[in-house]
Structure 1
Amino acid sequence: MNNLKIIGLACLILFLFNCSQDEIFVEEQSAQTTETIVEYAKRDGLKPIGSGVMMQAFYWDVPAGGTWWNTVNSKVADWSNAGIDAIWLPPASKAQNGPFSMGYDPFDYFDFGEYNQMGSVETRFGSRTELTKLIDAAHQNGLSVIADIVINHNSGGASEANPYAGGNTWTDFNPMSGNFYRSANDFHANNIHSNDSGAFGGYPDLCHNQTYVQDWLWNNSNSVAKYYRDVIGFDGWRFDYVKGFEPWVVKAWKDEAGGFAVGEYWDSNVSTLDWWTSTAEASAFDFACYYKMKDAFMGNNLTVLNDNMLWKQNATRAMTFVANHDTDEIINNKILAYAYILTHEGYPTIFYKDYEEWLNKERLNNLIWIHNNLAGGTTNILHADTDEYIARRNGYNNAGLVVYINNSDLWQERWIETNWSNTIIKDYTGHSAWEPTTQYGKWVKIQAPPKSYSVWSVK
């Protein structure tokens, strides 16, 4: 009899556990309807990519001399503590300009600073050993590492007779790594077609319809994608100049190699960005948001923040940014633009120079904390005029927030409707000392300092 009781009790516990697990699964599914879907890194111990903020860990013309990997290595622990979940590195393999190249003229995809070619052993950023030490350090601190992938064009090939061009072209690639030899057949024009979506800068334009190219870039067990992932240790991909090839290329790469993927589709048209992300099944940098912020903060007209952006169309695929290595046009009141992307939907990126040199790091760290702890759920714009912008995040697994951006020269105050009734709230930026109590109808008066912002939530 006692044994039967024990068995029955065990069955009951198992049943309740399974029901509990089912409830958790349902809750997690419902979260995906109101919150950005994060992609979990493959390696154990890493923060989910998309749960925090990405750091662009370089800028154009970082110091040459092979020191950059060590510089970034010295910062990953602090970035992780601040709430960064991933770092984006520049193209890491050997390029035509050797020790002076920023990597966007790729020559040997398998030389990370170990072969004496193109004028140096190391890349501009350092040696292969220094790169893998950096990636190991990032992983130890819970950070994923995103590789900048340049597969539209190549540079540094020798001249060869090209039957498709009626003369010689610079398409003879013989890398010292011994991997991915290329010839005229692998570029446009060739025996398949004369071109794809777009060439870049006069460089030889890779043909992704060639099976040989597909095999070396992503299909083979020793392909570029799998070598970056399995040998060097990268966790995801930032695809350069994706206008130059069809979106199926990114999808095929990701289907084969996995990992987080974001494309640089430089276009402010929201429908175009949404089409590309859906077809490529990858994220895209929200250039629509970037240009609206430029109009808002450089043009001093915050009403344009009412306009459509990728994060409003599909937040799960939107990478928001204020500046990067190619664009730095939002100069006036740049911190207001960061207050915008770090309180709104999408996956925000911080530019190295802004964080480490140009802006107030304490204020950025505060906004990163706010993003990671308060900025959940859907968004409602509560007010927008030339000088003022107020939006509410409705919360998911957190209280949500109200952000008040003030681009005027004076303190401003407004009554707004919150999600909180009879609740004390405070400004988590510390810019306002007010701690008002919301009314029974959830209304409350908040304020924001001149040329600044405040972010309100439950005390």
Structure 2
Amino acid sequence: MKKTHFLVSMLALAFFSSCRSGDENDNENLRDQEVHAKTVNVTNHDGRPFSTGNGSAVGKFVSGPGGGVLMQGFYWDVPEGGNWWTTVKDKLTAWSDSGISAVWLPPASKAQNGAYSMGYDPTDYYDFGNFNQNGSVETRFGSRTELEALITKAHAENMQVYADIVINHNSGGQSQANPFTGTNTWTDFSGIASGKFQRSYNDFYKNSYGNNDEGAFGGFPDLCHANPYVQDWLWGRDDSVGKYYKNVMKFDGWRFDYVKGFGPWVVNSWNSNVGGFSVGELWDSNVNTLEWWANNANSSVFDFAAYYKMDEAFDNGNLNVLNDDMMWKRNPYKAVTFVANHDTDIINNKMPAYAYILTHEGYPTIFYRDYEEWLNKERLNNLIWIHNNKATGTTSILYTDNDEYIARRNGYNGNPGLVVYINNSSSWQERWVETNWSSQQIKDFTGNSGWYPTTQGDKWVKIQAPPNSYSIWSLNQ
């Protein structure tokens, strides 16, 4: 949910507003598939080659031992005009080649602000740009036909597609007399064009079920999940929102918006009845709260604890905070890590942050604008390749101070793992570290270092990292 870019006007009805479920078997399956079929060499800024999956002749994502990477396939206020679905579809082959395993799309259904809405003010969950309502046929992103073509293309590339689901609140209803408030409320959704999931005042708080649930948002009518009618339409019926999105539209999973607004049992019920990957946007840096929610929702959760620690570490020169607790340390199978998203973008020193999430446990997310516009795409592709092919096993932190951070992935099922060295200082740094490997040659897979050291019999070796950058070491094979 975008927290700062909307206005609510009940008189004008102009609202500018602004889902890895659950079980660990799904995550293990990602890690047990084949290694990406082809590697090419690309040079870094110093001219030395590094490894990347970009350019695969296969043209489809194939998961390596480290699993896959999620692309957030939008940003706030993507261009209007109904072309976004086609824009994303045209990038899917390149994303797949680079090792991206899934794409998260913005809310796909018609919202109150029609062709201008980012979708976080939903009106008709079954209008994907195929009904003339709220001032347009298409959504901001395009038509239903174009959305279906995107999903079909993603599946042809062996990528999954996750829908952004906004079920805390609705917008765009007509005014009706409400006996529970003694006023008129904008809660009459009986005239929606699809005719599915019609709603009235008793489907929103306050109503016969009570005055409120965990939280309302922005003055929007607050959907009442305690109402069996609402439950049935969201996840129970064969043509419920969840089942329609999964079985008809062919979405593979869900990013649940603003889950602070309703109990975790809602997402748990959705996941139990519908299935698929899920991740919740619980905007909270308290790792205990994140873990509590993920366990009770039977869902992954965005690792806001790691997000704020990375900001302190990489922007404020305090890498020691990476020793602190984070969701990925509590349960990596339920932690989705990220460096930026459409709502929040506070980390300035982003490449070390991406090096961190793409070498550590959890399910890493790449932000569209970082990948396509703002950062070095080849360096990101290199990190994606390293993640997919080398980032396996548990994590051991080997060294930290204000400027340096070194951690080891301990390897899994024959994969050797890696050592990542992040250096926030203005000069080259060197450290002796204990690796997974005895008497074997290693190299820096980023190409930032030209060293090819051989580990000692006791597995210790000296490695280096360039100023304000990172190196990532593994067996030279």
Question: Quick check: which one's helix share is greater?
Answer: 1
Instruction: Please tell me whether the aligned partners of residues 38 and 48 of structure 1 are also in contact (alpha carbons under 8 angstroms).
Output: no
Which residue of structure 2 aligns with residue 247 of structure 1?
264
Distance in 2 (CA, whole Å) between partners of 1:219 and 1:415 is 57
Q: Does 1:220 align with 2:237?
A: yes
Instruction: Please tell me whether the aligned partners of residues 256 and 280 of structure 2 are also in contact (alpha carbons under 8 angstroms).
Output: yes
Instruction: Please tell me whether the aligned partners of residues 46 and 139 of structure 1 are also in contact (alpha carbons under 8 angstroms).
Output: no
Q: How does 1:292-441 map to 2 (within 5 A)?
A: 292-331=309-348, 333-397=349-413, 398-441=415-458
Distance in 1 (CA, whole Å) between partners of 2:182 and 2:431 is 70
The 1:159–1:119 alpha-carbon spacing in structure 2 relative to 1, beyond 3 Å, is: same
Can you give the 5+ residue segments of structure 2 that lack an aligned partner in the other structure?
A: 1-23, 32-59
Instruction: Please tell me whether the aligned partners of residues 67 and 387 of structure 2 are also in contact (alpha carbons under 8 angstroms).
Output: no
Q: Does 1:70 align with 2:62?
A: no
CA positional deviation for 1:51: 2.2
Which residue of structure 1 aligns with residue 280 of structure 2?
263
Structure 1 outlier segments of 4+, above 6 Å: none
Instruction: Please tell me whether the aligned partners of residues 172 and 184 of structure 1 are also in contact (alpha carbons under 8 angstroms).
Output: yes
| AA aligned opposite 2:418 | L
Q: Does 1:91 align with 2:107?
A: yes
Q: How does 1:199-214 map to 2 (within 5 A)?
A: 199-214=216-231
Which residue of structure 1 aligns with residue 52 of structure 2?
none
Which residue of structure 2 aligns with residue 154 of structure 1?
170
Which residue of structure 2 aligns with residue 5 of structure 1?
none
Distance in 1 (CA, whole Å) between partners of 2:447 and 2:273 is 47
Which residue of structure 2 aligns with residue 111 of structure 1?
127
| Aligned-pair identity (%) | 68
The 1:205–1:38 alpha-carbon spacing in structure 2 relative to 1, beyond 3 Å, is: farther
The 1:39–1:370 alpha-carbon spacing in structure 2 relative to 1, beyond 3 Å, is: closer
Distance in 1 (CA, whole Å) between partners of 2:467 and 2:335 is 29
The 1:47–1:432 alpha-carbon spacing in structure 2 relative to 1, beyond 3 Å, is: closer
Q: Does 1:288 align with 2:305?
A: yes
Distance in 2 (CA, whole Å) between partners of 1:277 and 1:37 is 18
Distance in 2 (CA, whole Å) between partners of 1:458 and 1:367 is 16
Distance in 2 (CA, whole Å) between partners of 1:112 and 1:374 is 39
Which residue of structure 2 aligns with residue 7 of structure 1?
none
| AA aligned opposite 1:157 | G
| AA aligned opposite 2:187 | T
Distance in 2 (CA, whole Å) between partners of 1:297 and 1:273 is 23
Question: What are the Cα deviations for residues 273-295 of structure 1, in whole angstroms up to 9, with x where unaligned?
Answer: 00000000000000000000011
Instruction: Please tell me whether the aligned partners of residues 36 and 346 of structure 1 are also in contact (alpha carbons under 8 angstroms).
Output: no
Question: What are the Cα deviations for residues 91-144 of structure 1, in whole angstroms up to 9, with x where unaligned?
Answer: 000000000000000000000001111110000000000000000000000000
Instruction: Please tell me whether the aligned partners of residues 61 and 96 of structure 2 are also in contact (alpha carbons under 8 angstroms).
Output: no
Instruction: Please tell me whether the aligned partners of residues 47 and 144 of structure 1 are also in contact (alpha carbons under 8 angstroms).
Output: no
Residue 81 of structure 2 aligns to a residue whose secondary structure is coil
Which residue of structure 2 aligns with residue 232 of structure 1?
249
Residue 444 of structure 1 aligns to a residue whose secondary structure is strand
CA positional deviation for 1:37: 3.5
| AA aligned opposite 2:222 | D
| AA aligned opposite 2:220 | Y
Distance in 2 (CA, whole Å) between partners of 1:221 and 1:51 is 32
The 1:36–1:301 alpha-carbon spacing in structure 2 relative to 1, beyond 3 Å, is: farther
Instruction: Please tell me whether the aligned partners of residues 36 and 345 of structure 1 are also in contact (alpha carbons under 8 angstroms).
Output: no
Distance in 2 (CA, whole Å) between partners of 1:125 and 1:169 is 29
Distance in 2 (CA, whole Å) between partners of 1:318 and 1:38 is 16
Kindly indicate whether structure 1 or structure 2 has the higher relative contact order, using CA contacts under 8 Å at least 6 residues apart: 2
| AA aligned opposite 2:234 | L
The 1:203–1:233 alpha-carbon spacing in structure 2 relative to 1, beyond 3 Å, is: same
Question: What are the Cα deviations for residues 255-290 of structure 1, in whole angstroms up to 9, with x where unaligned?
Answer: 111100100001000011000000000000000000
Instruction: Please tell me whether the aligned partners of residues 62 and 99 of structure 2 are also in contact (alpha carbons under 8 angstroms).
Output: no
CA positional deviation for 1:46: 8.0
Distance in 1 (CA, whole Å) between partners of 2:157 and 2:69 is 14
Residue 232 of structure 1 aligns to a residue whose secondary structure is coil
Instruction: Please tell me whether the aligned partners of residues 383 and 389 of structure 1 are also in contact (alpha carbons under 8 angstroms).
Output: yes
Which residue of structure 2 aligns with residue 188 of structure 1?
205
CA positional deviation for 1:48: 7.0
Instruction: Please tell me whether the aligned partners of residues 63 and 99 of structure 2 are also in contact (alpha carbons under 8 angstroms).
Output: no
CA positional deviation for 1:47: 5.8
Question: What are the Cα deviations for residues 60-85 of structure 1, in whole angstroms up to 9, with x where unaligned?
Answer: 00000000000000000111111111
Instruction: Please tell me whether the aligned partners of residues 289 and 320 of structure 1 are also in contact (alpha carbons under 8 angstroms).
Output: yes
Which residue of structure 2 aligns with residue 26 of structure 1?
none
CA positional deviation for 1:230: 1.1
Distance in 1 (CA, whole Å) between partners of 2:343 and 2:370 is 14
| AA aligned opposite 1:382 | L
Distance in 2 (CA, whole Å) between partners of 1:247 and 1:184 is 23
Distance in 1 (CA, whole Å) between partners of 2:236 and 2:399 is 50
Instruction: Please tell me whether the aligned partners of residues 39 and 260 of structure 1 are also in contact (alpha carbons under 8 angstroms).
Output: no
Q: Does 1:179 align with 2:182?
A: no
| AA aligned opposite 1:113 | G
Residue 371 of structure 2 aligns to a residue whose secondary structure is helix
TM-score, scaled to structure 1: 0.90
